[in-house]
Structure 1
Amino acid sequence: MNASIMTISDGEFVRFQQLILRCAGISLTASKKALVAGRLAKRLKHHGLSTYADYYRLLSTRDDEMQMAIDLLTTNETYFYREPKHFDWLRDRVLPAHPQGRPLRVWSAACSSGEEPYTLAMLLGEQWGERAWEVFGSDISSRVLDKARSGLYPLQGARGVTPAMLRSHCLKGVGAQDGWFLIDPALRQRVHFAQINLNETLPEVGEFDVIFLRNVMIYFQAETKRQVVSRLLAKLRRGGTFIIGHSESLNGIADGLELQAPSVYRKP
């Protein structure tokens, strides 16, 4: 650990474990102790606090700081075209079978900084162009959603995006923005974002044809997984596609779904 990061005690760590479990349904194992200390250290310095216990007490008096702490502790790695077989399935199996004349709605239900929904938008832009489709992205973190809405990313993070895709759907930065790329405004207007806590009753967002819930359930306990999946499936149309991460499973979590391919399910 960086020498500038003060030590978090076991008792202090347990408090933050309980906080993030209560607020977001995320279970942090003991191996995440250094991560918690590292991500919150700058907030302690910002407020001139000497212990993590002092910072925990501050959270009870500041809603804005509570949101900041949740943002810092729930942000996970993401990148464009992660687990590409899922996008192949969408292109090759879901799109050709979609009813003619009905708009396609896709939900990226833990979208982080936006790489997944914009990957979906690039694919749909290539395959369907001006046909009626929409991508919806949600996350518990307001901070990463601000980044997602901006649509601005470093070029070094564009792994998986082909040069043709970059030319068609992105604008290369110049001058002060050199080394960055911006998702084309025409594509961004098809992608909408909202702050949603999947661990709570979902807002009215309509029905979706495809829901992506990838690489987030690994942080949930079994009962939380069941509740989150149940809420999301209620928003999935009959015949719709539900996609989870390759390292995840719905065994014992959701009954009645039809397995179509590894980590790809159909709602009958």
Structure 2
Amino acid sequence: MSQSPAGWYPQPDGRQRYWDGQSWTEHFAPGEGVSTVGAPTVGAPTFGAAQAAPQRAWYARKRVLIPGAIIALFVVIGALSGGGDEPQKDTASASIAADDKAAEPVSEPSAASKPGAAPKPTSKPSAKAVPVKPAAPKVGATVRDGKFAFTVRSVKCGIATVGTNPYLKEKAQGQFCAVALTVENIGDEPQSMFADNQYAFDSKGRKFSANSMASMADESSQVLWEEINPGNQVKGTVYFDLPKGASLAKVELHDSMFSGGVGVTVR
């Protein structure tokens, strides 16, 4: 028996398959009719009968085509759905990032960084307050040092000689400046007043000690050496021998040789 001629032959699934005259190939085609050549004989499968196979009814073909189409539709829908997730994620991330950026505080640019803005003048640091020194006490003021309260009553310079007793007279090397004082004991114990514990300064800042011989020649003075009881006071004159032409500027009064002293301006 001869082999069936090459051609397209219907298959059980409704498609057509190509017979090359020796065997079935892997070529398929939609099956709507029968082969244009004679049916295969020897060597052809049983479904390749010699006579043409009748066309399948439309509902028989749909049993294969409709499920395949449904499966393909689900595949397409799944692909579209899967592809849409990523943009949504990106959109959500972008929205969150925008919200975070909006929540961040925005620093106000300084006046110097603004275009066309004039630089803000810096305020000058306030000058430190310089403590004002109280004015030095003057003639007539009462000052205190230790247990004594001193009051300078008057100052007189240009004196050449002190004393009326010809045997006790004291002559100045330059000129005597007489400082009349009132001294009061403000303590609770006796305290001795010594003229030699007092000092004077001229306008050049030079320091002078008291002249005890001049205080001795002045018999009315009680401040050469005098013990003063608490609450009592004495009056007297302390003499300073300054160069001629020198100007007495200040006296420094002490209740003892170890006290700090207090200054009185006499100019």
TM class, shorter-chain normalised?
under 0.3
Higher strand residue share: 2
TM-score (norm 1): 0.17
Higher helix residue share: 1
Higher relative contact order (CA 8 A, sep 6+): 1
TM-score (norm 2): 0.17
